[in-house]
Structure 1
Amino acid sequence: MLSILRSLVQEVNGARDLQEALDVIVSRVQKAMGTEVCSVYLLDPATNRYILMATEGLYRKAVGKVSLGYSEGLVGLVGSREEPINLEDAPAHPRYRYFPETGEERFRSFLGVPIIHHRRVLGVLVVQQRESSRCFDEGEEAFLVTVSAQLAGVIAHSEATGAISGLSLTGEEARDVSFNGVPGAPGVAIGDGVVVYPAADLDVVPEKPAEDIEQELEMFRAAVKAVREDIERVANRLASQLRPEEQALFDVYLRMLGDEALPGEVANQIREGTWAQGALKQVVQQYVRHFEMMDDHYLQERAVDVRDLGRRLLSHLQEGDQRHLEYPARTVLVSEELTPAMLGEVPKGQLVGLVSVKGSSNSHVAILARAMGVPTVMGLVDIPVNQLDGKELVVDGFEGQIFASPSDDLRAFYQAICDEEDELIRGLEALRDQPCETTDGHRVSMLVNTGLMTDVVRSLSHGAEGIGLYRTEVPFMIKDRFPSEQEQRQYYREQLEAFAPNPVTMRTLDVGGDKSLTYFPIQEENPFLGWRGIRVTLDHPEIFLVQVRAMLKASEGLNNLQIMLPMISNISEVEESLHLIYRVYHEVREEGYDIHMPKVGVMVEIPAAVYQIRELADRVDFLSVGSNDLTQYLLAVDRNNPRVAQLYHSYHPAVLQALVRIAQDAHAVGKPVGICGELAGDPGGALLLMAMGFDSLSMNAASLPKVKSVIRSVSREWAMQLLEDVLLLDSPHVIKSCVDLALRNAGFGRYLRPGKSTTVAFAEKALS
């Protein structure tokens, strides 16, 4: 069964479209299980009905025509219960629904299993048998469940590909096709998708039509000729060093490049209207799948040769293709994995949005996007990225959603959000130089999180009172080596000078987890619980000492530096770090630098630190909560993983209770405590944090005007009553709704983003 399953998955992965994938599934499953019928019913999101999409054993004329309501018949029962149903006599079941056009009255035994992907029921896989005495056994049921689970992702991907191409399951025009990811940078963008991809990677070549078929054929023939010459040259050079059987491998490559072999098939694809790179990708992947499915081990290994040959041809094609990407006036850049260099290629003023399949909200590109104010969505699952080139896209950086082929209504809905945001920001500019103080006189420091000089420019224009978190890893991430002491000193001086005399809190190097350096790779099975933050720099004091020395020298004459230690879980880590900082301080003073000893604080990001606040506070000058990491560690949820993103919630009761305790314990020993993270930049979250007693709130510059406006318009007494009320609740969603309701009642509804998916909000607006 494992061999059959492996072969089935490979064959389905090789299908050109959803219909071919489904036809393969029903054919192979029917044969593997020895049943008379195998059918697939898919749930059409547009009509909420199950449609018979493929069958082996029922009448083919029923495909695409027979449909059932969401809870209708045995198929609907399987889908609504989300579990297998195994019956010896299906017609005797009260939920049995008979469709004469299928011819299924001949079959009595029934086994149906749901096809579920990320909690969403995609459809139902059914096998049927004529004999009433046959009951599908446990092994057969388990096999069908395994097939369903294995193929759910493939079906979801194929379904999405068809939808992006403009067709629904029923063949009607598809609009407003949505995909969920992780918010990378807030905001909304409407523009045209431009897919960018690394060189010589067949998997990411986008699908595009050929603009000039003869030109594409000419480029491909030139690439084949160049690769043949390369292989012949290498073969001749190594002829004296290789045995005849090893020399024969070069002959295999050359035979594959014969006109009747791979090049002939690629040329045929080009003549049918596919550009050369896309045609090469299709043929090579078809060859690879064919070889991988063979039983002979030697022939299976030939798949590697075909893949290598494909890469060589693609490399020559890309060298010979002098056409450059054309960037429309409103470019949404799309890639498997965006890089800062890709952003730099887009002409100034034309980049409006970013979409990256890989990456997280903490990746360098996301940080850069927030600094540039470019709405970004990252970490998308099952998105056919190669299909998005040239498509009109809506990027919702608030919710972490993108929409392809938006309808006029959806486009207007998002354009209204864009216009509201622009108007709101303009209206808040008058608050820039006003203090962040409640109506009853309680003052809160408004700080910003930075990593680049572009952050600083935006922060100063929005009235920031200092930096609550400077991510010092950013200078390390934009280099291909560790930056020198002098280079670091220059980066740090820019930040310190920009905000002097206000405080600038610099976090020591925080790599590991989802933040990696190409020249200092950290490979771990569980990176978030591994070697990261202070653990790395204490194990490499040469990195830590150089960084602290650069910080101290950069602060000369300004003395507004504060140093913060990340990922603290033990008192010993604080003591060891302080020892090294004091050592560097005295060394720098001896070198003649006139500096003051900076304040040193720790980040509270780990549950262990929550229960040691008093002990930590005894040893440092201040504390700062990293609410993003603290939330994910308290809830055991990777916040960058879209598969569990719905479980990550900053308003979770456990998170709020922990934050209350931190503020109380810090103030009990007379130490200031701040917070940096997404919760601080949320107007409702900021109110709760202010009520808890946090002395400073640090956030992205774009969030600062809204938060300041809300805090200046309420009393602390009002906020404390709101906090008292929500701490009695046990659901994060209910808490968020209560806070939003309180803000709306106070006149701040325009500051809120929809707490549910924008798809639902748009649907509700359309219905109203």
Structure 2
Amino acid sequence: MLEILRNIVQEVNTAETLPAALEIIVQRVRDAMGTEVCTVYMHDPETNRFVFEATEGLNKSLVGKISMAAGEGLVGRVAEREEPLNLEVATAHRSFRLLEGIGEEPFSAFLGVPIIHRREVLGVLVVQQQEKRRFDESDEAFLVTMSAQLAGVIAHARVTGAVSGANSGAGAGGVPTKIAGIAGAPGIAIGRAVVVSPVADLYAVPQRRAQDRRAELRAFKLALRSVRKDIEQVAEKLGTQLNPEEHALFDVYLRILDDATIGTEVASRIKAGQWAQGALSEVMIQHIKHFERMEQSYLRERAVDVKDLGTRVLAYLQSTDTERQEFPEASILVGEELTASVLGEIPREKLVGIISVKGSGNSHVAILARAMGVPTVMGAVDLPYTRLEDQELIIDGYYGEVHMNPDAAIRRRFAGILADDQAISEELESLRDVACETTDGKRLPLWVNTGLMADVARSLDQGAEGVGLYRTEVPFLLRERFPSEEEQRQIYRSQLEAFAPLPVTMRTLDIGGDKALPYFPIEEENPFLGWRGIRVTLDHPEIFLVQVRAMLKASEGLDNLRIMLPMISNVAELDEAMEFIRRAYREVLEEGSVVKMPPVGVMVEVPAAVYQARALARKVDFLSVGSNDLTQYLLAVDRNNARVADLYHAYHPAVLQALQAVADAAHAEGKLVGICGELAGDPGAAVLLLAMGYDVLSMNATNLTRVKKAIRNLNMETARTALAQAMLLESSDEVHEHLAGVLAENGLQSFIHPRLD
């Protein structure tokens, strides 16, 4: 069964359009189950009906012409109830409805299962048979499994069709489509896609038309000759080390590259107008999939050889492609896995947005994007990014969504939000140098989170009063080895000097989870519950001591350093870390540096630290809540996983109660408490945090004046009332709605960003 499933899914993956994918499904499923009919009905979001889209065994002339509503007929019942329906005599069921002309009168047995992707019913998969019988449990299990396997493939094919304009009545631009991802940096962006493909990845080459077909053809032939020469040289070099059978493999390689086979196919596509890299990618992937579908394992393994050859040719093509990239005035950078270095290739004035298929809100790109104020969506896994070159896209960085093929109405709505955001930003500039305090005089210092030197100027320009989180891992991530003590001292000194005399809170090295150093890999099955944060540095005191020494030396003469320890989950860890810090301090003094012992604090990021917050506060100078990780661990939701992104709610009542508990614990010990997660930069949440008693809010510079505006528009009584009411609510949606009302009542309607469907 697994082999049959795998083969069907592989074949469906080769389909270029949704209709082609559905045609493969009905053919292969009917054959695999030995039934007489297999049909797929697809949900049309515009009409909210299930359309007869593909069949083997019924009247194909009606494909695309008839449909049923949810709840209508057996198919509608399956879709409405979102569960299988297995009938011995379909006509005897009260929901049965005969579709005229479809030709299902002879068929008695009926088995239908819903096709569900991310809680959305995409369609219904049906098999039918003339014999009066219930399909057995193995048949039902097979069809349910097949439906689950195909759901993602169908979703991707549907989006791909929307991009190409196939299977839609919206014209060449395709149908309006929304792709869910993870919010990387807030804001709205409207622009043209610029697709960035990684080096020599056949599956990531964007579709693009050739500007000069002859030049593309010459480049391809030159790349072929170069690879052929490379293989001949390797074959000659290994001639005496391989037996004749093994050496014959190189002859196979050379034959694959022969102009009469793959070379001819690529050349013909180039002549038809495709650029060389795209033509090569399409042909090679087609051949790779052909080999992968073969039954004999020996032949299936040849797919690896074909892929290797294609990758070699592509690498040469990319190295000779010296054409300077032209960027539209409003460019949205799109790629499978963007890196911080890629951003340097595009002029900042032309970059309006970023979309990455992979990655998280903690990726280097997301961190840099927030510092630059560029709306960003990460983890857009369903995005057919290679097909998006020069297409108009809209980014909703508030909710982590990408809109493709936007119609006039969608474009107007987002253009309006963008214009409002720009107007608000201009208005908020006047708040840069004023105090963040309520109308009745309660001060609330606003600090910033930094990690790159690019953050410094922007932070100071926005009126930051200090740094609540300096991510020291960023310089480690951008290197190919551990930075030395002196290198670290210079980096930290730059940060401390830039903000002096304002305080700078430096978090000790926080790697692990989704932040792995290329030269210090951590491979774990469950990295977020594994070796990360303080656990790593306590196990490697040579790394921890060097870093703390560098921090202390960097603070000489400035005395604005604060040290913060990440991922503390028990008092013993804190005691051990404090002993290392005191040891580093003694060593620095012995070397002649004149420095003060800086304040040391703990990040509260795990539930255990919430319940031990008071015990931890006794031993340190301050507590700081990392609301991103704390929310993740409290709700058991990976905040970087697009599949469960809708379950990650920082307004969850459990999160609010934990935040209040930490604030109360810190104050009970007479210690300051701050927060440095994304929640601190939310104007609505800032109202609650103010009322909870948080002494400092630290956020991305982009949000600083927005939070300041919110705090300056209300008094403490209003904030406390808002908190008291929020604490009685039972869901994050209720809290969100409640805070939207509070903001609106206090003249802050412009900070409310409703999700646009």
- The alignment's TM-score, normalised by the length of structure 2, stands at 0.98
Query: 1:153 and 1:29 mapped to 2: Cα distance?
Result: 17
SS in 1 for 2:443: coil
Task: Note the alpha carbon deviations across 1:187-220, whole angstroms, 9 max, x for none.
Answer: 1111110111112110101122333333333322
SS in 2 for 1:403: strand
Q: Could you tell me how far 1:571 is from its partner in structure 2?
A: 0.8
AA at the equivalent of 2:7: S
Alignment of 1:366-445 (within 5 A): 366-445=366-445
**2:756: which partner in 1?**
758
Task: Note the alpha carbon deviations across 1:610-643, whole angstroms, 9 max, x for none.
Answer: 1111211111011111111101100000111110
Q: Could you tell me how far 1:325 is from its partner in structure 2?
A: 2.2
User: Does 549-558 or 481-490 show the bigger shift?
Assistant: 481-490
- The runs of 5 or more residues in structure 1 that have no matched partner are 760-768
AA at the equivalent of 1:714: L
SS in 1 for 2:349: coil
Task: Note the alpha carbon deviations across 1:383-419, whole angstroms, 9 max, x for none.
Answer: 1110111101111111111112222332222222222
**1:135: which partner in 2?**
134
Task: Note the alpha carbon deviations across 1:282-323, whole angstroms, 9 max, x for none.
Answer: 222222222222222211211111111111121222223332
AA at the equivalent of 1:365: V
**1:159: which partner in 2?**
158
**1:548: which partner in 2?**
548
Q: Is the 8 A contact 2:602 2:624 kept in 1?
A: yes
Q: Could you tell me how far 1:488 is from its partner in structure 2?
A: 1.4
Q: Is the 8 A contact 1:399 1:758 kept in 2?
A: no
Query: 1:462 and 1:324 mapped to 2: Cα distance?
Result: 35
Tell me, yes or no, if structure 1 residue 265 matches structure 2 residue 226: no
Query: 1:750 and 1:493 mapped to 2: Cα distance?
Result: 39
Query: 1:259 and 1:71 mapped to 2: Cα distance?
Result: 57
- The runs of 5 or more residues in structure 2 that have no matched partner are none
Query: 1:5 and 1:465 mapped to 2: Cα distance?
Result: 59
Query: 1:317 and 1:499 mapped to 2: Cα distance?
Result: 47
AA at the equivalent of 2:667: H
Q: Could you tell me how far 1:174 is from its partner in structure 2?
A: 3.4
Tell me, yes or no, if structure 1 residue 557 matches structure 2 residue 557: yes
Q: Is the 8 A contact 1:64 1:170 kept in 2?
A: no
Q: Is the 8 A contact 1:73 1:95 kept in 2?
A: yes
Q: Could you tell me how far 1:259 is from its partner in structure 2?
A: 3.0
Q: Is the 8 A contact 1:687 1:711 kept in 2?
A: yes
Alignment of 1:215-614 (within 5 A): 215-614=215-614
Q: Could you tell me how far 1:556 is from its partner in structure 2?
A: 1.0
**2:615: which partner in 1?**
615
Query: 1:241 and 1:454 mapped to 2: Cα distance?
Result: 54
Q: Is the 8 A contact 2:660 2:692 kept in 1?
A: yes
**1:703: which partner in 2?**
703
**2:36: which partner in 1?**
36
Query: 1:314 and 1:558 mapped to 2: Cα distance?
Result: 53
Query: 2:12 and 2:543 mapped to 1: Cα distance?
Result: 50
Task: Note the alpha carbon deviations across 1:357-378, whole angstroms, 9 max, x for none.
Answer: 0111111111111111111110
AA at the equivalent of 2:660: V
Task: Note the alpha carbon deviations across 1:673-723, whole angstroms, 9 max, x for none.
Answer: 111111111111011111111111111111111211221221212211111
Q: Is the 8 A contact 1:44 1:169 kept in 2?
A: no
User: Does 285-294 or 505-514 show the bigger shift?
Assistant: 285-294
SS in 2 for 1:509: coil
Query: 1:464 and 1:227 mapped to 2: Cα distance?
Result: 55
AA at the equivalent of 1:684: G
Percent identity over the alignment is 61
**2:69: which partner in 1?**
69
Q: Is the 8 A contact 2:19 2:167 kept in 1?
A: no
**1:150: which partner in 2?**
149
AA at the equivalent of 1:161: T
SS in 2 for 1:601: strand
**Runs of 4+ in structure 1 over 6 Å off:** none
Q: Is the 8 A contact 2:713 2:747 kept in 1?
A: no
Query: 2:320 and 2:540 mapped to 1: Cα distance?
Result: 46
AA at the equivalent of 1:540: H
**1:762: which partner in 2?**
none
Q: Could you tell me how far 1:538 is from its partner in structure 2?
A: 0.8
Alignment of 1:48-67 (within 5 A): 48-67=48-67
AA at the equivalent of 1:758: L
Alignment of 1:179-198 (within 5 A): 179-198=179-198
Query: 1:260 and 1:473 mapped to 2: Cα distance?
Result: 53
Task: Note the alpha carbon deviations across 1:510-543, whole angstroms, 9 max, x for none.
Answer: 1111112111111111111011111111111111
AA at the equivalent of 1:158: A
Q: Is the 8 A contact 2:632 2:639 kept in 1?
A: yes
SS in 1 for 2:259: coil
**2:110: which partner in 1?**
110
**2:79: which partner in 1?**
79
Q: Could you tell me how far 1:268 is from its partner in structure 2?
A: 3.0
Query: 1:46 and 1:349 mapped to 2: Cα distance?
Result: 37
SS in 1 for 2:558: coil
Query: 2:538 and 2:429 mapped to 1: Cα distance?
Result: 43
SS in 2 for 1:390: coil
SS in 1 for 2:678: coil
Alignment of 1:664-743 (within 5 A): 664-743=664-743
